[in-house]
Chain A
Amino acid sequence: MSGGYWFALVRRLSFLLIVTSFYLNLKCSSTTIADEVAALIELKRVFENGELELYDWSEGSQSPCHWRGVTCDNTTFLVTNLNISVLALSGEISPAIGNLHSLQYLDMSENNISGQIPTEISNCISLVYLNLQYNNLTGEIPYLMSQLQQLEFLALGYNHLNGPIPSTFSSLTNLEHLDLQMNELSGPIPSLIYWSESLQYLMLRGNYLTGSLSADMCQLTQLAYFNVRNNNLTGPIPDGIGNCTSFQILDLSCNDLNGEIPYNIGYLQVSTLSLEGNRLSGRIPEVLGLMQALVILDLSSNHLEGPIPPILGNLTSVTKLYLYNNRLTGSIPAELGNMTRLNYLELNNNQLTGEIPSELGSLTDLFELKVSENELTGPIPGNISSLAALNLLDLHGNRLNGTILPDLEKLTNLTNLNLSSNSFSGFIPEEVGLILNLDKLDLSHNNLTGPVPSSIGSLEHLLYLDLHANKLSGPIGVQGGTSNSTTLSYLQCSHLNYLDLSHNEFFGPIPIELGQLEEVNFIDLSFNNLSGSIPRQLNNCFNLKNLNLSYNHLSGEVPVSDIFARFPLSSYYGNPQLCTAINNLCKKTMPKGASRTNGPLGATAAWGISISVICLLALLLFGAMRIMRPRHLLKMSKAPQGPPKLVTFHLGMAPQSYEEMMRLTENLSEKYVAGRGGSSTVYKCTLKNGHSIAIKKLFNYYPQNIHEFETE
């Protein structure tokens, strides 16, 4: 305590010294309006397109008070506010900025300003608000900025500033908001800045800061927001962290912190606790279960082990519980069913065992349930169908068995269903076709039998259908038995862009209806018992980039024109009846390759050995592909590419195609972001005819979000 007192005393003394020098400074530089006109003209001159953007800043002027972005004091007529943000200014900030001694508010954010922050800015001693974020500023932060004793708000984020955080900032006794995120700052966080009684918001995310966290951070008695995400911080979470009782948001994620989560963390009053992406080890402390103010608890991607403490079920305000990518063992506690506000429950990539508790059926607000890549056994609990808000259900990579429940149809908001790599058996229920918002269905690598239900054809938003590596049979597409007026098949899912039916027991011809899938870019029908010829109608699939028909019983010619020119001969291997028609000569039959089937393999032993070597290689390759697969899928799910989640505004004009929108916005690049809301991102897209439309990407498809959309 006495150390703290001495420190405070020393700091007050240094403050006095600075105040004295500031009065001296003021004395010898009384500013006139003419001086300010000159300073602003000089500022404009150094901006590259100042003439264009600041056209009314003219030298002959008596007063700058009516110039663009300039506001003056009512009595002194000196410049107090300068707001020249978002004006596409480039060039540099002139040192003349330092002559605007009465400036209280300076906003130059979201321009293209480069060069360094001029040291002279520290002469703007009246500054209360300084915002230079979203520019291309380089060099170090001038340590003399600590002279800006009135400063309350300082935002330098999203630049290329390097060097250290000046420890002199600790003398800014009025600073409430310090945002240095997304720069290239290095070195440790100076402990001195932790000794502020005014700081409420500290944002240091996305720099190269090193060193460890100091328990001194809890000297920030007014701080509500502490974010050091994405730096290179090392060492443990300080044991004294429990003293940071003013913190509401604590984000230490994506660093290199190690050690255990200290018991004292239980004293925090935080609503968001983000510790993900570090190397934290040991068990999840039970004390977390007493932190009932928590709304987000993210411990994902660490080295945590042991069980999930059942006491976490007490956290009834938590909306997001992320424990994925750890080494957690034991079963999923039934108590998690008490967390009735949960929207996101992600326990994937651990070593969890036992069954999925039926209590999870109480989580009626759940949007996403991910328990994939664990060692879970048993069936899908029957009441999972009461999760009416569920958007994503990912159970892949477990040892789940039993049949796929017909009840899943009640999950009317489900867009993504992944049950792959389990031991599910029986038929795919017809009711799957009633999950109307489904855009991704992955049932691959199970023991499913029977035909593909024709009801899948009514899934008009379906983009991705993967049923490979099962024991499915029957013809592909239109079912023979059904005699309804219009026979549905999944070949009527007109938006389908990925279709994998390989490694099953499908027979019959390749239906010509495949040609209706205008958006499809991947078709794999390999390793089935398909026969007949390759339908030329595939030429209508303009986007088709990958076609694999190998290892079937297809016959006739391999088409080479149009779309078919894109595919290598390996797309057709293992179809002994198929011949190539290059140069209009259908002579060569397709090479057998490494046949999986029981065809004649040759007589000699040497031939047999070479075949088995090739088989072994193929097996290895297949194994490697299986390992690669989940990651690939993960990426896919991060960047869903599909029309159903895009909403366009200002629809006065002809409807635009999804592809065109994606092209015009460079696949919804950050450049085109017009705004962000809680549930969506809005992009601005300028059409060929010069009109602008806004595109809204909903993060999840849920009635609540639709409502928000309507109100905006």
Chain B
Amino acid sequence: EKRLLIGSSAPECGHTCGACSPCKIQIVSYECEEDFGSHAEACPLGYLCLCHGKSFPIP
């Protein structure tokens, strides 16, 4: 189990996009609405693998 290591690293896409290339890691903003009084820029960010506009979940 690789998960025994503490800490994490920015994911890599590798062959996640299948035959499509180039398969690039992309930071995407999840949809969110500002709560009253909350931070204006608080929308969560995550990673996706992107290839020619098509997105694939990270491995």
Q: Report A's interface with B, CB cutoff 8 A.
A: 206, 224-225, 227, 229-230, 245, 248-249, 251, 254, 266-272, 274, 276, 287, 290-296, 298, 300, 317, 319-320, 322, 344, 638, 676, 678, 699
Contacts and interface: CB of A to CB of B under 8 A. Distances in A.
A317 B11 CA distance: 11
Contacts of B38: 254
Interface in B9-57: 9-11, 27, 29-31, 33, 35, 37-42, 44-47, 57
B39 to A, nearest CB: 7
A300 to B, nearest CB: 8
A699 to B, nearest CB: 6
Contact of A678 (B29, B35, B37): B29
A249 B6 CA distance: 18
B45 A295 contact: yes
A227 B30 CA distance: 12
Contacts of B37: 638
A249 to B, nearest CB: 5
Nearest to B29: A678
Most buried by B among A227, A271, A287, A678: A271
A341 to B, nearest CB: 9
Most buried by A among B10, B27, B37, B44: B44
Given A224-B46, A254-B35, A322-B39, A287 B30 contact: no
A274 B42 contact: yes
A294 B8 contact: yes
A581 B33 CA distance: 54
Nearest to A673: B33
Nearest to B57: A224
Given A254-B38, A293-B8, 20 more contacts: A229-B35, A248-B58, A251-B44, A254-B35, A266-B7, A268-B8, A271-B44, A271-B47, A276-B39, A290-B7, A292-B7, A292-B10, A295-B47, A298-B39, A300-B39, A317-B10, A319-B45, A320-B41, A638-B40, A678-B29
Contacts of A294: 8
Contact of B30 (A249, A254, A638): A249
Contacts of B47: 248, 271, 293, 295
B46 A248 contact: yes
Contacts of B35: 206, 229-230, 254
Contacts of A676: 31, 33
A271 B29 contact: no
Given A230-B35, A296-B45, A298-B42, A287 B9 contact: no
A322 B41 CA distance: 11
A205 to B, nearest CB: 8
A276 B47 CA distance: 21
Contacts of B6: 266-267, 287, 290
A335 B30 CA distance: 29
Nearest to B31: A676
Nearest to A248: B46
The 5 tightest CB contacts between A and B, nearest first, are A290-B7, A293-B8, A272-B44, A295-B45, A266-B6
B44 A293 contact: no
A249 B44 contact: yes
A292 to B, nearest CB: 5
A271 B28 CA distance: 10
A389 to B, nearest CB: 14
Nearest to A640: B40
B7 A319 contact: no
Contacts of B3: 245, 267
8 contacts: A224-B57, A227-B44, A271-B27, A292-B7, A292-B8, A293-B9, A320-B41, A320-B45
A276 B31 CA distance: 19
A581 B8 CA distance: 75
Contacts of A292: 7-10
Contact of B7 (A224, A276, A287, A699): A287
A320 B42 CA distance: 9
A251 B37 CA distance: 17
Contacts of B11: 269, 293
Nearest to A288: B7
A249 B10 contact: no
A322 B29 CA distance: 17
B10 A296 contact: no
Given A248-B47, A272-B45, A295 B7 contact: no
A126 to B, nearest CB: 27
B44 A319 contact: no
Contacts of A266: 6-7
Nearest to A229: B35
A290 B10 CA distance: 11
